[in-house]
Structure formats: C-alpha cells, structure tokens
Amino acid sequence: MLKAEMILSLARNPDVRIGIGSRSGSEKIIESIRKSRELGYGQAILYRDPVEMLTDLSAGVIKAAVRGDMDSHEIIKAIKEIFGVPGLMRAAALEPPSGTLFFLAPVGIDEGWGLEEKIEFIRLGKEFLENFGIRPRFGILSAGRLSDIGRNEVIDRSIRQAEEVVGWGKRAGLDIEHDEILIEKAVSTRNFILAPDGVTGNLIFRTLHFIGKGRALGAPVLNLNEIFVDTSRAKQSYVDSIAFAAALVNRKYRYKELSRGVDHETGD
C-alpha cells in the first residue's frame, strides 16, 4: 500500500538546496521554509522571481524547485522559455483521506488531449515511478463505459482513445487497464491514473483536494530532466511539497547509483 509518508521518508537530506517561489514572501512560505529546515528536508531558499529560480535550477545552483504560491502563468512561461519545452506534463501526487496515494495526470487544462500525448504521459510516468522504486500500475479513464458507445460521439472518441492507449501499453508489457469512467475502481488498484483530458484531471484534483480534503504533495513536471514540483497557491503549508522535492532529489541520484550495477527495489 503506497502512502505519502513512505515517499516523504526518503526526504531527509539537510544539505540539498531547494528553491521555493513567492512573489510576496508570504508568511506561509516563510514558515514552510523554517519548518522544512527544522525537519531536515534540505535547505529551502525563497525566490521572488520565477526566472531567477528556474535559471538557478537550470544551472544546478539548486537541485529542485517548488512553485509555492507564485502565479501559474508566470511559472509556466518561464519553464517553457528556460528549458525549451513546448508544454508541461505534470502528475499530481494525491492521497485520499481513507485511501492510498496515487499519481494523477494530466492536471493542467491544456495537457493530455491527444493520443500521442497520452502515450507520452504513460512512458514518462513509468520512468518516474520506477526511478522512485515503485512498480507502475496504470489505470486509464474514459468518459464512459464500453457499453456506452453510440450514445455520444465525444464519449465514443474518449473510449476509443483509452482503448488505444491500453493496447499500446499492453504491447509494451505494462500493467495497464481501461477502468472506463470508474475512477473509484481505478484508485483502489492503480498507482498512476490517466484522466481523459486535462480539464477532467484538473477537476478530479480540485474535487479530491479542496472538497474531499485529500492530501496533495505537489505535481512534478515529468518532461523535465530537472526537478520542479508544481503546487497550488491555496495550500496553507508547503512543508510536504518541499519534502517531496527533497525525496525526488535523493531518489534521482540514488537511482543513478543503483542503475550502475545494483538492482533497485520495487514497491507497491
């Protein structure tokens, strides 16, 4: 059973430098920096300028960056310009109050609309989970059940696309299934859930986190070599997001060591 604390248990590293953004230097960011340092989750550093923070990330001055409560538009624009990516591909780490942690993608409203991008999410998600020592189990959601085909062309297209993603995944040897519209089934058996599109994924995230009080550690950008954890401005504390970034740093460099000759573990 995958839990947030299992991931955060990998975060102890008092020396790793992690940037966190806040244009206003808000009290909740300042307190999160203090608390994360106290707990040994690295040396968090406040940045007020997104370009400066991401330039330092690119140059290796910091090993990871957390959005904090900076404006989303500013951060996305800076990432695209500094790292030369056309768009972000994010997967949010979510833990329902009475469930296990899973990763949800896409969570940006402009992400994951086409078949090729969905397949890329699965490919990147596999690499991300395996680097973390987690055996990937993919659940692909669509806008209806298979028996709903013929009711609406949008639903039909969503179901067909989900079936294509699953077919590709099975040919690639992945543990993957089409959970149709049954998200309640997917979250009970899968650890990486692909929503039908970015709007649906964003709504799932907001419903679970802001209404259902589920825990949200943050959303790493999968299509960057560097570690950037996106967060919501509505969070009251960023300690767990800083810890998540520290765990990603620790796991990234540990995996590189293991991949040079020692098998890395798998986890459920």
What is the number of structural domains in the chain?
2
What is the full DSSP assignment across 206-229?
A: HIIIIIS--EEEEEEBTT-SSEEE
CATH number of residue 145's parent domain: 3.40.718.10
Do 93 and 244 contact (CB within 8 A), yes or no?
Answer: yes
Q: What is the pTM of this model?
A: 0.91
CB neighbourhood size of 105 (10 A): 26
- Local confidence band at 242 (pLDDT 50, 70, 90 cut-offs): very high
Say whether pLDDT at 172 is over 50: yes
251's tokens? 């796991």
Say whether pLDDT at 1 is over 90: no
Among 28-37, 100-109, 191-200, 246-255, the range scoring the smallest mean pLDDT is 246-255
Q: What is the mean pLDDT of residues 228-243?
A: 95
Say whether pLDDT at 75 is over 80: yes
pLDDT at 254: 59
Same structural domain, 231 and 124: no
Q: What is the mean pLDDT of residues 44-59?
A: 98
Q: What is the extent of the structural domain holding 245?
A: 1-85+224-268
pLDDT in tens, 216-234: 999 999 999 999 999 999 8
Distance, in Å, from the CA atom of 86 to the CA atom of 240, rounded to the nearest integer, reads 29
% of residues, the chain, pLDDT over 70: 94
CATH number of residue 69's parent domain: 3.40.50.10950
Same structural domain, 107 and 206: yes
Same structural domain, 145 and 29: no
Domain boundary among 176, 191, 217: 217
Interior CA angle at 75 toward 44 and 100, to 5°?
Answer: 65
pLDDT at 257: 42
Q: What is the mean pLDDT of residues 177-188?
A: 97
Same structural domain, 229 and 131: no
Say whether pLDDT at 150 is over 90: yes
Same structural domain, 138 and 208: yes
- Local confidence band at 160 (pLDDT 50, 70, 90 cut-offs): very high
pLDDT at 168: 98
Same structural domain, 122 and 53: no
Q: What is the mean pLDDT of residues 66-92?
A: 96
Helix (H, G, I), strand (E, B) or coil at 93: strand
pLDDT at 264: 37
pLDDT in tens, 85-128: 999 999 999 999 988 999 999 999 999 999 999 999 999 999 99
Same structural domain, 257 and 207: no
Same structural domain, 210 and 106: yes
Same structural domain, 141 and 206: yes
Say whether pLDDT at 268 is over 60: no
Same structural domain, 78 and 161: no
Domain boundary among 180, 196, 217: 217
- DSSP 8-state secondary structure symbol assigned to residue 62: S
In the chain the beta strands, taken as DSSP E runs, fall at: 17-21, 43-47, 64-66, 92-95, 102-105, 138-141, 176-180, 192-194, 215-220, 227-230
Say whether pLDDT at 256 is over 60: no
75's tokens? 């951060």
Same structural domain, 98 and 205: yes
Same structural domain, 259 and 210: no
- Local confidence band at 253 (pLDDT 50, 70, 90 cut-offs): low
